[in-house]
Chain A
């Protein structure tokens, strides 16, 4: 029995002890304090109660502050899921086309880790869900019209301003530029403006505007801003600005050069310099103006169409071309004339300050002549009014003179002579050869005297009574002064006073006189033989002065405006056209200026007298052109 008890306890002890195990320690425990989450989603450019006028891309950016990992972002519009993202940044579209006008709710729901560092957090099963809502409105009305405020030129550049734009509901914006009158058709364009530029409320137009005839008219630019969206478009009011005409000057410097004077351009801020090229040489003139001497033989008329200036903006590397200007004209100027007419005279009328032109139209060589008078502005010879005076027999030497006593116009037209009112061009009186019993010859009216020139004699009548009071044989050239006080014939100068004729002097030239010009205000007479030199006869001192500097003269014209004398040597032969010159002689200084002129076509060798250059109103005039400087300086 004792043994069994022992064995029992032994086995019991073994089993008990063998069931013993190592006793493990408690689990480690980390106390974690939960802090409020700091994650956020930033919707750039979106604010609460935002108004969307057009479809807009909204950028979003999740910021977990290096603590909260993003699991998912869901974006809803009116509870409709429009975007799901598991990355921190992206964008979504507020598609106004698919949304109704009115209020909407944008909901941003984002799920991110707690950031607590707990076992669940690091295992990705502990997260926050955060929801943010934004109210917004969709407005799909057409864009409102921009209100333009001003267009100004500041520092040589055009600046536009407009009022703040309340509704940014436009997709496209255009700046429309055109010339106001529509005469300059090249300026009609549209510049696309970005939204940023449009909202900046100002614009600097750095373009350069060129006109067809820059020197003649202003550019009236009008600016308008047009906005467009998918529902319509709007047009702003217009603002306009005038760009003054741009005139350059070419002033003759000497016989072989002229000075090009370029003023400051109104838009000088939009470019840096003008470029003028002549004879493969380039001249740069700053945009704010300058002068340059151009070497070129001077000739009148120049027949230059105009001057081309190109405009550049300086850049590192290659300068930027900004535009070009073609400016009509040259150092001489053009005026209006009728190419179908022959011009016989340009004369300045001291009594009313106008220049009068005598022109003749003949449809054939032997046809009748239509004689007309133009009254012109003395400054630029623009026609003020014109009138056809009469139709007369063909005559090669029509003359227009000013009656010194009344300022009315006298037209000598071969078989008839007219006294024409200087204001309304009405014929005050006219005299014909037949009235004086003659069939041929040329008739001249001067201060109540009628002179009739025939091949072999000259007769003088009282214009009122038509009674003959003097007649003389005639050889050679005949000319009667404007007042009728002097006449030239038989190589002599005579004085006609109180119907009595007295010989003043015999010209005693070797060759026949071809030109005589009476300068009665100065008591002078200039006569000329083509092969010799002009001679000035002074009635007061009864002296003669030979002008040895001139020969071969076939045009003489006196300008009563300046008291100077024009002498033209036209060197024309049928086979060899030489150089022709115009001289302007100053009686006061006995000096003269010279300029080469275009040779007139005469088709005869050494013609005795010509028409084609005149000196009137301080201008050297050729048909269609005049020169108003240099010779008169």
Chain B
């Protein structure tokens, strides 16, 4: 998958490099997610350790992401690459040791967005309609230390989501760059987590259902675009 992303980046940069009417942009996003399946899966860990009061430290919350892309102004299309991350964590520790389970979740998104002008100005408000795919890496790390006895486990999973979304974009020219703000909503599909080492094996919860990533949620963004 990294190869695919790298290929996508190289081809995009090459494409950008040779384009004559466009702009590179970079956005910082604040996004919300819907990882209820992962949250349930994490709580099942707590129930499995009744001897000590394990508490939830992180429950796949909203987080900051970023996007880079390139606008092809002559066809009102932009290509983008996003990165989002979140995570879950449960832990218990006292003087004698610690139990810590960390579920790190990172997603790489690439897609294209078609922008429709809502004002007669070159910039101003635009409506973006986009489609994308997401690669999610889910790292499950278990660290247990009781007195001098330490146990570490790390299991990696991966999932693939497809998604669509829409957003309202506002651009304002300022000097040699353009300030860009957006607000929208993405819906993702799929997302069953597979063991990275063996794609035939799915991660299941106690009910036997597949544990899935679900990145659906609000998307906000603030960035700059440099015309090239």
Contacts and interface: CB of A to CB of B under 8 A. Distances in A.
B13 interface: yes
Contacts of B102: 24
A30 interface: yes
A3 B17 contact: yes
A20 B104 contact: no
B121 to A, nearest CB: 26
Interface string A23-43: 011111111100000000000
Given A120-B96, A121-B96, A24 B89 contact: yes
Interface string A223-257: 00000000000000000000000000000000000
B26 interface: yes
Interface in B91-141: 91-100, 102, 104-106, 108
A10 B24 contact: yes
A17 B66 contact: yes
Contacts, number: 98
Contacts of A117: 52
A25 B68 contact: no
A28 B55 contact: yes
Contacts of B92: 27-28, 30, 119
B188 interface: no
Chain B's interface: helix, strand, loop or mixed, by majority? strand
B156 interface: no
A122 to B, nearest CB: 4
B147 A22 contact: no
A24 B106 contact: no
Given A119-B99, A122-B51, A126-B96, A24 B83 contact: no
Interface string B1-31: 0000000010001000100000010100000
A22 B100 contact: no
A119 B97 contact: yes
A350 B205 CA distance: 128
What class of interface size applies to chain A in its complex with B? 20 to 34
A125 B68 contact: no
Contacts of B54: 28
A255 B224 CA distance: 149
A125 B52 contact: no
B58 interface: yes
A13 B26 CA distance: 9
Contacts of B104: 21-22, 24
B76 interface: no
Interface-central residue, B53, B55, B94, by most chain A CB under 10 Å? B94
A118 B57 contact: no
A1 interface: no
A603 interface: no
Contact of A25 (B9, B58, B95): B58
B149 interface: yes
B159 interface: no
Contacts of A118: 94-97
Contacts of A25: 57-58, 89
Contacts of A3: 17
Contact of B146 (A11, A28, A119): A119
A121 B51 CA distance: 10
Given A30-B94, A120-B97, A7 B66 contact: no
Nearest to A16: B66
Contacts of B81: 14
A22 to B, nearest CB: 4
B85 A14 contact: no
Nearest to B67: A17
Contacts of A7: 13, 17
B61 to A, nearest CB: 9
A18 B93 CA distance: 32
A6 interface: yes
Contacts of A123: 51, 97, 146
Given A119-B52, A122-B52, A21 B106 contact: yes
Contacts of A122: 51-52
Interface-central residue, A17, A28, A118, A125, by most chain B CB under 10 Å? A28
B93 A29 contact: yes
B85 A21 contact: yes
Nearest to B145: A119
Given A122-B51, A125-B147, A14 B96 contact: no
Given A27-B98, A126-B96, A20 B83 contact: yes
B36 interface: no
B87 interface: yes
A627 to B, nearest CB: 100
Nearest to B100: A27
B63 interface: yes
B86 interface: yes
Given A10-B68, A24-B89, A123-B51, 11 more contacts: A10-B24, A13-B68, A14-B81, A18-B83, A27-B91, A27-B100, A28-B55, A29-B93, A30-B52, A117-B52, A118-B96
Interface of B: 9, 13, 17, 24, 26, 51-55, 57-58, 63, 66, 68, 81, 83, 85-87, 89, 91-100, 102, 104-106, 108, 146-147, 149, 226, 228
29 contacts: A3-B17, A7-B17, A14-B9, A14-B68, A20-B85, A22-B58, A22-B85, A22-B86, A22-B104, A22-B105, A24-B57, A24-B87, A25-B58, A27-B92, A27-B93, A28-B54, A28-B57, A28-B91, A29-B94, A30-B53, A31-B94, A117-B52, A119-B92, A120-B146, A121-B96, A122-B52, A125-B146, A125-B149, A126-B147
